[in-house]
Amino acid sequence: MQLFFKRLFGQLPSTSRYEKRVKKMQKKVKLLQEIEQSDYFKEYQELRSKVNEDKFLQKKEEYTSRKYKDTEYYQKLAELKKLSGDRNVKKYLKATSDAERLQLAGNIAVKGYLRLKEETETPEFKEKNAFWADKKRWQHSERGQIEARYLELHNSENIRFYLKADKRSLEYFESWQPIWNAPFREPSLEKNDFKAGFWFKQPELKRDFSYCEEAQAYMGDRNVNIQNSIMSIVTKKEHVTAPAWHEKKGFTMHDFDYTSAVVNTGGTFGMAVGRFLAKVRATGKCHSAIYLVGENRFPLIEMYHYNGKHIVVGITDKNGKEEQVLRGIRPNEWYVMSVAVNRQEIIWKINDFEVFRCINPMPGQNLYITCQSFAPKDQAGEGQLDIAWIRAFER
C-alpha cells in the first residue's frame, strides 16, 4: 500500500495530529459524561419534555397570538366606558338621594353599568385583565418562565456543545474502555508487565534462547533500555556465544555476531478480543517487530514489523504470510499502530487509517504481546525498536 499520497492529501494524519485528535476526543467524551451526569442537564431534559407538550404549545400559541382587543376583559371595559356616557347612567351617578337613584336603577343602561362596574372591580378580573393587557404576557406567565429557563439552558455553552457533538463517533470512541497500559515510566521490565525471553504455555519449556538461523543472540534484558518513558530494544554488533535452537540438533551453544532482546507479556497480560495500540518507530538495517501471539508460536499477528526497509502488517504462520507492505512513509518516525481483533476478523490501522484486514485464523485464542529486534543472516545489521507506549482496550 502506497501511503505517501494518503498522507499528502490528509487521509493519513500525521502522528502528532492524530494524537491531538485523540486527546481532543478524550476531553470531549469526559465533558459529555460530566454534562450527562449534571443536575442542569437533567433539568434541561425535563424542561425540553415540558415545552414540547401539545398543551404547552397550544397555550403559547394562545398567549402570543391572541390580541387584547379580542378578549372579554377588554370588551367589558369598553362596554363599561360606553355605558358611563349614557344619559341615564350619568344622572344615576350624579344623583344626591337614594330616592333619585332608586328611580333610575331599573334602567337597562344603568343595570348594565352597575353589573359591569361590580365585575370589573373584582381582584380576579383586574388580575386577568392586567395579564391580557400585558404585551409581554407570555414572557411573564409561568409557562413563559419555564420556556425562558429552558432556552437559557439550551443556549448555554455546555448544552450547545452536547447538542452539536458527533455522538456516533464519540460513542464509538467511548465504547473502547482501557484495560491495560504500558507507559514505560518504570525503569524495569517487570514493573511494566514485560519479561525478557519467549513465553510458552508449558512452564517447563526453555524461554531464554536464540535461533541458529538468525544473526543475533537474545541476551535477556541486557539490550533493553527504558528511559524518558520509551522502551528501546537495541540490536548491536557484538560477538557472543549463547544457547540457541537448531532445527535438527535441538539446543546447542552457538556463535553470534550481534546481540538483541525479545520481551513479552505472556505471564502478565493477554486478551482474545479487543484493540491493541502502540506508539512505535524503528531504525537500522535489522528487523524490529511487535507481535500478538497465541498459545503456540504460530500463527502470529504482525502488529508492527519493520523489515529493514518498510513497515509490514499481517499474519504469519507456518505456511507463509498474508500481509500488507506500507510504502511511502518513514519507519524512523513515530506512528500509532492499532490492531482490532474480534472473532471474525482482524483490522490494522496506522494513525487510525485502515491499512489491512483479514479473517481471524485463531478466534477466541488469548493473545499476548511480544516485542523484539532481530537480524536474519542474510540481512544482518544493527538497529533499534523504540516503543513509547502500548495500550489495550475492550468493549
From the list 231, 224, 215, the residue with the least C-alpha distance to 287 is 215
pLDDT digits (tens, 9 = 90+) for 340-392: 999 999 999 999 999 999 999 888 899 999 999 999 888 889 999 999 999 99
Residue-wise pLDDT for 108-160, tens only, equals: 999 999 999 999 999 999 999 999 999 999 999 999 999 999 999 999 999 99
Chain centroid, CA 87 distance in Å: 81
Of residues 320 and 301, more confidence is placed in 301
Positive or negative, the CA dihedral 55, 57, 60, 64 is negative
pLDDT (average), residues 24-46? 93
Separation of CA 219 from chain center = 41
| Helix, strand counts (H, E) of the chain | 13, 18
Cell of 139: 414572557
pLDDT surpasses 70 at 4: no
Check residue 34 and give its pLDDT.
93
Q: What is the pLDDT of residue 340?
A: 96
pLDDT at 175 over 90: no
- How confident is residue 272, by pLDDT bands cut at 50, 70 and 90? very high
Query: Which of 48-62, 67-81, 204-218, 381-395 is the least confident region?
Result: 204-218
Provide mean pLDDT across the span 246-250. 90
Closest CA to 32 of 191, 197, 175, 215: 175
pLDDT at 193: 95
Looking at residue 169, what is its pLDDT? 76
* Three-class secondary structure of residue 174 per DSSP: helix
Share of the chain above pLDDT 70, in %: 99
72 pLDDT above the threshold of 70? yes
